[in-house]
């Protein structure tokens, strides 16, 4: 990949963000394929799937912001916003498929935390664009 206007840290952050977006899309497709059930096309437990395809991409998006906190990049900001939006939308899709009525208090707190992380990531993307 060659981006003449980006420095090495920003290139790494862009690659990390693209990987995060791909992982979040795979996670979302798996949840939709499961259609509210426990098994999608990924051969893993729901909690493992959430950890691998939810926590890791979220962490990568946050790391990509902080390793480039001094470098302006609209491209990276847009990618971070897309990742945050996918997390927010994915939370809504999961709640809709599972039915909000069937959720216990612990599950609602977990969804709230995931939603909060999505909002924070989106805000980081906005900050990255504003800095550019």
Domains located in the chain, CATH noted: 8-131 (1.20.140)
Mean pLDDT of 80-105: 81
Percent of the chain residues past pLDDT 70, beyond the cut: 89
pLDDT digits (tens, 9 = 90+) for 78-92: 999 999 999 999 888
pLDDT (0 to 100) of residue 85:
97
CB-CB contact of 53 with 27 (8 Å) = yes
Say what the pTM is.
Answer: 0.87
Q: 67 and 125 in contact (C-beta within 8 Å)? A: no
* pLDDT confidence bin for 40, thresholds 50/70/90: confident
Mean pLDDT value across the chain: 86
């Amino acid at each position: 990949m060659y981006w003449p206007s980006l420095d090495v840290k920003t290139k790494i952050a862009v690659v990390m963000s693209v990987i995060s977006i791909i992982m979040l899309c795979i996670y979302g497709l798996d949840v939709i394929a499961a259609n509210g059930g426990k098994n999608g096309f990924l051969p893993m437990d729901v909690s493992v799937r959430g950890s691998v395809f939810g926590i890791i991409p979220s962490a990568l998006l946050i790391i990509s912001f902080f390793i480039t906190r001094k470098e302006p990049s609209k491209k990276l900001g847009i990618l971070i916003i897309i990742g945050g939006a996918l997390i927010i939308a994915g939370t809504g899709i999961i709640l809709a498929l599972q039915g909000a009525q069937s959720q216990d208090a612990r599950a609602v707190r977990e969804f709230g935390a995931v939603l909060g992380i999505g909002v924070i990531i989106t805000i980081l993307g906005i900050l990255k664009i504003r800095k550019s």
